Amino acid sequence: MTALQQTEPRATIGVIGGSGLYAMEGLADVERVTLQTPFGAPSDAYVIGTIEGYRVAFLPRHGVGHRLSPSEVPSRANMYGFRMLGVRYLIAVSAVGSLREEYAPGHIVIPDQLYDRTKGHRPDTFFGGGLVAHVQFDRPFDAGLSDRLEQAARAAGATVHRGGTLVVMEGPQFSTLAESEENRRRGHHLIGMTALPEAKLAREAEIAYAMLAMVTDYDCWHPGHDAVTVEMVVQVLQANARLAQDVVRRVIPLIGDGFDSPAHHALATAIITDPAVIPAEKLAQVELLVGKYLRKEA
């Protein structure tokens, strides 16, 4: 497989694992696929295997061994690589802090909104350079995929909360107390470091994206909760990882052969540039994403 070509889909379902989830257990017929994309190398090799009769592509977001900080995660390469493999449904597993008493460590949240407080250091679009596209992003998480995640999480016996806003900060430092209190004042529910630009890029790649947010701590706002430490987070992550794998195994057959999502048509009305003026080099870079729409204009 070259960087600009897609063969028959290797997997239509993908899983990207965050802190504490670096591999998937119970995969059958496993293969490792190393890709080079037009946007560089992904975080690691993709591990493709069979769960409940369906091929699933797994990628550790921070690389095996957790080598990449949140700001260093190559999200463009990661999302483009999933699309090269044929993925159309992507489950994002992420460790998050809670900004609400009722979202306790060990709980699962399936958020429905994002709020961006990153610093603009992370490339967040496949476009520019002579090709402008404006995708709709008012609902960043796919409702159909979120429904299935909720069903799977409840079947796994988890304490599940549906809905809520995840504020995404730059990191890698944890929040100051003032920041944590301000995020609560704004009405946010969770805080994390990696959902953006990942969710934006999944939308541009026309991949349905939903999140399994695994609560590890109360950030630093909670009066009965010590300041967040790596040791504290890791202890909860170990239990969360086992639960996340159980939920993922249960959601795969619920996705099954797939369903239509608005995300699968995100670029249909998003491209504003006249195809006649798009530079050939840029078109070659993103042909996998836009080719079917621009060929209609030819």
User: pLDDT per residue over 149-205, tens digit each?
Assistant: 999 999 999 999 999 999 999 999 999 999 999 999 999 999 999 999 999 999 999
**Coil vs helix vs strand at 72:** helix
Give residue 1's pLDDT band: very low, low, confident or very high (50, 70, 90).
very low
C-alpha to C-alpha distance for 50 and 13, rounded to whole angstroms: 10
- DSSP string covering 271-287: B-S-GGGS-HHHHHHHH
Is 273 within any annotated ligand binding site? no
C-alpha to C-alpha distance for 15 and 44, rounded to whole angstroms: 13
C-alpha to C-alpha distance for 81 and 6, rounded to whole angstroms: 10
- pTM higher than the cut 0.85: yes
Torsions phi, psi for 110 (to 5 deg) = -110, 90
Q: What is the pLDDT of residue 2?
A: 37
Q: Which active-site residues does the annotation give?
A: 217, 219
C-alpha to C-alpha distance for 173 and 53, rounded to whole angstroms: 41
Is 98 within any annotated ligand binding site? no
Domain ranges of the chain: 13-297
Is 124 within any annotated ligand binding site? no
C-alpha to C-alpha distance for 69 and 54, rounded to whole angstroms: 31
Radius of gyration of the chain, Cα coordinates, nearest whole angstrom = 19
For 13-297, CATH number out of 3.60.21.10, 3.40.50.1580, 3.40.50.720, 1.10.10.920 equals 3.40.50.1580
Is 75 within any annotated ligand binding site? no
Which ranges of the chain does DSSP label H, i.e. alpha helix? 75-85, 143-155, 177-185, 195-204, 230-255, 280-297
Over range 7-27, report the average pLDDT. Answer: 77
Is 11 within any annotated ligand binding site? no
Higher pLDDT, 284 or 23: 284
Say which DSSP state 98 is in: E
C-alpha to C-alpha distance for 82 and 46, rounded to whole angstroms: 9
Name the one residue in this structure whose structure tokens are 């496993």. Answer: 30
> Which has the closest alpha carbon to 59: 80, 26, 82?
82
pLDDT at 22 over 80: no
